[in-house]
Amino acid sequence: MTFALTVLGSGTVAPSAARAAPGHWVEAGGARLLLDCGAGVLQSAARHGVPWETVTHVALSHFHADHWGELPHFLFALRWGIEPARADPLVLLGPEGLAERLEHLERAYGPWVRDPGYPLEVIELPPDGRRALSGDVELAWTRTQHTEESLAYAVSHAGRRLVYTGDTGPTPTLARWAEGCDLLLAECSLPEDRAMAIHLTPSQTGELAREARCKSLVLTHFYPPMETAQPARGAAARYAGPIAAAQDGDRFVIEA
Q: For the segment 5-17, what is each residue's pLDDT rounded down to a tens digit?
A: 999 999 999 999 9
Confidence of residue 173 (pLDDT cuts 50, 70, 90): very high
Residue 113 DSSP label: G
What mean pLDDT comes out for the span 97-123? 98
- Is the pLDDT confidence value at 116 over 80? yes
Architecture of domain 3-253: 4-Layer Sandwich (3.60)
Note the pLDDT of residue 250. Answer: 98
What is the CB neighbour count within 10 angstroms for residue 101? 15
Note the pLDDT of residue 73. Answer: 98
- Is the pLDDT confidence value at 229 over 70? yes
Note the pLDDT of residue 255. Answer: 81
Contact predicate 96/71, CB 8 Å: no
- Is the pLDDT confidence value at 205 over 90? yes
- Measured distance CA(50)–CA(77) in Å, rounded: 14
Classify 47 as helix, strand or coil.
Answer: helix
Domain ranges within the chain, ordered by starting residue: 3-253
- Is the pLDDT confidence value at 215 over 70? yes
Per-chain mean pLDDT for the chain: 97
What number of residues does the chain have? 256
pTM assigned to the model: 0.97
- Strands 151-157 and 160-164, how do they pair? antiparallel
